[in-house]
A and B are shown apart, each in its own frame.
Chain A
């Protein structure tokens, strides 16, 4: 099902991009920009321009697709290199643009060579229509071979259960051997207690908990593909007991300029495959929350806080402090939260049980390098235990009252 859906959506995208591609190529002028130029231009565009410009949409600055048709190349070069100078020279167009975008001056790019600017313009003319074709095959590849691994254990389980049922049926219905019956009952009781106990111990353990979130936020795109540091958004992790769910104004630091995803972006969320059309709507949800009017590039003041569903729920009686682990101990976020940078939809990676906490406290050696607090304590402790490094538990990290108060 999943794959079929993906096919349909992707082929639609493919058709659309082909149409776009051809419509662009029709408008090629005399010095037609080449694919190669456009490729180099794209890299430059992403590095220098993308924070304020988009191809097909107004952002901090105007949309740049087809800008070569609207402006002379020389004017563009002059403007890009130093728009201030161009305005100072009394160029009417330059002034008009400046006024139109609220008097916000564009950065100066005098270091760009003419060739580089031409490449960038080539990219704005050609766009990046071709890319999506490869995306299809990529996405396809990911989902294909998951079946055999899942089916095999299932079949094995069914076989074992059937054999056991047959045995049980034989013992209790056909056989007259009393000893066998007693032994079977004892075995049944033990097995029942074993699995029952296991099941009860799992109550309240939410490993793998993956609730439905109000926004299809992909940690993979943010922390993985774009390598945004965890603590850029979860900034209180280093100061406070809570890591903090970022406030919407933190999202807007970037999303003020990123109002859409690239054509090939695909996210798997809640058993659905979301493509650009869906994902852009998700970004719109951020705008709704922040009260950002993407058309007029202004805040409306009408905010609507996002109601995230909390995944990591420690009970009230357990006190956990992020800053102790992040700032003092230097524990990587992934140690407890798992490969978040690979998760499209976030889930609880660790069991968050007390045993899990204690195990780590027993094994982990305290990172005392350069921390004035530990200096004396560590000297005394390593003397007492005769070890170079002490574990958290040796420092008292196993005491009840350290987490329960």
Chain B
């Protein structure tokens, strides 16, 4: 049956009396200021000392001056190389396989360089690499103008040779005196660096190496180590899973290092005939919860009982536990897990070793083949106990030398004050980082390291892959790799590159050639399955139960999709990436349920222009207070719980505009977090786009159906073809046309298909689009008022969880077919746990584009290849096109976003401009811009084929978004090529187009979202 689901983007839409929603739907541009508001004020006008005559004089003069200045073109210098490097041809991109490993994000990538500058990061698909938003944005962090540009000793600049010899001699003296030398690093996952540290430890006395993850996975590592004997994280083959139950694990986010989305999507591929059932139990609304088939809202304290109950249900044991409100659902989940047998898997994000042991025990009881203990992951290695011990030792002055690398403990430690005090008592403190961050500014030696794009390295992300990092640009600053310094301190006079090559040949390559491995970016190595030890479940459950703490509010800290652990917080692309769930950018905030907000008096009033305000809260956890945390009401947040993201509130090496949010690490205590919340009032201005770019009240733009409907129902019912009345007969909309159609059967006809089932909403495509198309960053205020420049936005829709039948009953009971009434009937503000669906929306490239017909200067026109083209130089900025666009995908350059101090982001400094794609123009003020379907990329592909004198290969075309998509949700291709993947997708029974009934004949196709609603 056809879905009657109603979707909403903001709670405000459910408010019957809100006039704002209607006005936002009707007006494309809401910022308009009525002339009366400034002209009507007679007093102001008269008090002005600019007379009308003066005004006209200025206008005349500036016009004349501007025209005169335009007559003479500037003299442009062209400076060729003196000796051109063999592999560089100006204008031709080079690609290098490399690997990012910054301690938080690990990925096999391809780096696209233009004239020796990295400009774009792609996933290395041969190595099964996937890139998230932060990895895509890491190319801009390379050009961060606030990087540390040379070594510093106690705040004064110094030379490397001086620094190294001083540190060497100090280390030697400390070693002879028997003082402790400690390395504190983030997760390295680098075999050669670990070998170097081992060599260092052999040369000096009393050396230890402490690994510290800011967002700890210590509990999972401890549990896995206890059972399987290796300090690693298990892998999960989600592509084969039939039932996935997650208790508080945001595995499509950064849980245990992330990277599961590709497997997850592969396991939910209706065409391949498999579709896992995913049940998510959580308190915050996470990305994983948003993708789940069933989301169960539960407080963290009750999640612990739910985990024990699940174990009991599966094994039939009776471990002591407690009832939770969702026991019936847990029981059903257990049945489904048992039914799936060894294709079932349970994961948990509860940061407790015993909880992790219990999850492993459940998987063992299920004999899960999804749990992979062969190809284990090394992307987290932190040990909380050792870190705590180190801080205690520092505080008592027991450490002689501390060397930090890839970590920022002064910012991320809860007891940062103790750490800082400890540093004062330590004789030698050396910090390696690319920024003079919170930690480095406290160190005696602040030593700059290059970005991974300027450095050599090796990474072991998982057990069966050995990956290499290679420089793709000459170091921009006077930096040195940590490894080179280690070599200098151990009196080895070779460069790290030589060391690495020799190390790899001896230990890792296993006969594979160095050059080939470097070319591919990785080589496959053998990995052996780890055997399990007995798990003492009873004891684990007992210990786990004892950790349960309850209080008024249970706080869960989470890593946000955009900022992660915060090391790229000075990256404007990431700051401007809206959170997939809240749609807020440039901030972190306290997430709260509507019910709690009502009780405490928090509201999120919506302004006329769609901007959202909020009040501040003061939260206290374990006696630590965080002031001024703005509160954002999150539908689907468990009552009595709060959420707050890491990564914000950094203070050092940050541009002013990026100094946003509060530091959640301050309350990142281990164990359950019980918070006290007070309403501190005030007014916070969110940069949150929930209502802007709405599609004018047309609420049926998203289609979803259940797996059983898809398998057994008729496509006409769950994906009906829109019909219009032609001569009083219902006719398929594609048969009726106001326009004469162009013949597109010759040459290429590009189509983009977006599968709503496999789109996880991760935002990787948004950043890829930024990088490829020189999309400007506009800053917090502009985003707030809905003037963001994202060519590609990911809409997030809420809908109530009612099944389709109940919805239909409700519709039938309605007194009239008035859509407003239906809407109110189906969706109520009390909705405790709405479902979420994501929908990426970019220019739909209509074959019958409404924008094209209204442009007075024909700046936007249609290409035969299906692309709606935008000639920026022709645009005069009437904005008619945006007004006439049903999809609200056109973006107007309200300001000049480059070389403008008002927008002090990457386009305002010489370094940041190096990331610009030279094949795409930077738009100026007053012109409209929008998605071009990456015409520069399709043209380049065509040219390549022409030059080689061959037809374009199947699936050779791509766009920035399609190449960045980890799950393959976005597919791009030529529908005139019958073998192209997108040709079949266009005709798929799940395929539909946005607002097809208006007859715009879009070239972007969506695939109906499918949820596995089978409860048994």
Interfacial residues, chain A to chain B (CB-CB below 8 A): 203-204, 206, 211, 236, 239-242, 244-250, 289-291, 303-310, 313, 315-319, 321, 323-324, 327-328, 370-377, 380-381, 384, 395-396, 399-402, 404-405
Contact = CB atoms under 8 A, between A and B. Distances in A.
B747 A308 contact: no
Contact of A317 (B89, B921, B948, B951): B921
Contact of A402 (B70, B90, B863, B919): B863
B743 to A, nearest CB: 7
Contacts of A248: 80-83
A203 B861 contact: no
A204 to B, nearest CB: 6
B945 A373 contact: yes
B90 A399 contact: no
B939 A402 contact: yes
A305 B77 contact: no
B32 interface: no
Nearest to A245: B80
Interface in B937-979: 939, 942-943, 945-952
A373 B869 contact: no
Given A236-B91, A321-B943, A400-B861, A306 B79 contact: yes
Contacts of A315: 873
Contacts of B747: 377, 395-396
A206 B73 contact: yes
A405 B939 CA distance: 11
Contact of B949 (A203, A291, A372, A401): A372
B977 to A, nearest CB: 10
Contacts of B71: 203
Nearest to A327: B947
A324 B941 CA distance: 12
A307 B75 CA distance: 11
A356 B83 CA distance: 35
Given A309-B75, A315-B873, A370-B949, A380 B932 contact: no
11 contacts: A244-B80, A250-B84, A290-B83, A305-B80, A310-B76, A328-B943, A371-B946, A401-B861, A401-B870, A402-B863, A405-B870
Contacts of B919: 241, 319, 405
A265 B566 CA distance: 67
Nearest to A211: B75
Given A290-B82, A381-B746, A404-B872, A371 B949 contact: yes
Contacts of A313: 73, 76
B863 A240 contact: no
A396 B863 contact: yes
B91 A247 contact: no
A309 B79 contact: no
A377 B746 contact: yes
Contacts of A328: 943, 946-947
A157 B932 CA distance: 51
Contact of A308 (B78, B869, B952): B78
Contact of A405 (B76, B874, B932, B951): B932
Contact of B78 (A245, A316, A318, A399): A245
Contact of B936 (A308, A377, A400, A405): A405
B538 interface: no
B746 A380 contact: yes
Given A240-B92, A404-B873, A309 B78 contact: yes
Contacts of A244: 80, 89-91
Interface of B: 70-71, 73, 75-84, 89-92, 743, 745-747, 859, 861, 863-865, 867, 869-874, 919-922, 932, 935-936, 939, 942-943, 945-952
Q: Give 4 closest A-B pairs by Cβ, nearest first.
A: A401-B869, A240-B91, A247-B84, A247-B81
Nearest to A323: B947
A177 to B, nearest CB: 36
A52 B557 CA distance: 75
B746 A384 contact: yes
A305 B82 contact: yes
A222 B867 CA distance: 44
Contacts of B946: 324, 328, 371, 373-374
B568 to A, nearest CB: 29
A381 B976 CA distance: 14
Mostly helix, strand, loop or mixed at chain A's interface?
loop
Contacts of A240: 89-92
A243 to B, nearest CB: 9
Contacts of A323: 943, 947
Given A310-B77, A384-B743, A404-B872, 7 more contacts: A242-B90, A244-B91, A248-B82, A328-B947, A396-B863, A400-B863, A404-B869
Contact of B82 (A289, A308, A399, A402): A289
Contacts of A246: 80
B297 to A, nearest CB: 46
Contacts of B949: 370-373
Contact of B864 (A375, A376, A396): A396
Most buried by B among A239, A247, A304, A377: A247
Contacts of A249: 81-84
Nearest to A244: B90
Contacts of B873: 315, 317-318, 404
Contacts of B872: 317, 404
Contacts of B939: 402, 405
A317 to B, nearest CB: 4
A313 B75 CA distance: 9
A239 B746 contact: no
B869 A400 contact: yes
A401 B875 CA distance: 13
B746 A400 contact: no
Contacts of A247: 80-84
Contacts of A399: 861, 863-864, 869
Given A248-B83, A377-B747, A324 B870 contact: no
A402 B939 CA distance: 8
Contact of B935 (A236, A309, A377, A405): A405
A291 to B, nearest CB: 8
Nearest to A383: B746
Contact of B89 (A236, A370, A371): A236
Nearest to B85: A247
A145 B920 CA distance: 50
A213 to B, nearest CB: 10
A305 B76 contact: no
B117 to A, nearest CB: 15
Contacts of A306: 79-80
A395 B939 CA distance: 13
Nearest to A303: B82
Contacts of B935: 401, 405
B474 to A, nearest CB: 16
B91 A242 contact: yes
A401 to B, nearest CB: 3
B921 A241 contact: no
Most buried by B among A244, A290, A373, A376: A373
A375 B80 contact: no
A349 to B, nearest CB: 17
B420 to A, nearest CB: 48
Contacts of A319: 919, 921, 936
Contact of A372 (B91, B867, B951): B951
A316 B921 contact: yes
A380 B746 CA distance: 7
Nearest to A313: B76
B801 to A, nearest CB: 44
A324 B940 CA distance: 10
A308 B871 contact: no
Nearest to A377: B747
Given A244-B90, A307-B79, A396 B945 contact: no
A164 B948 CA distance: 62
A327 B864 CA distance: 24
A308 B947 contact: no
Contacts of A380: 745-746
A399 B868 CA distance: 10
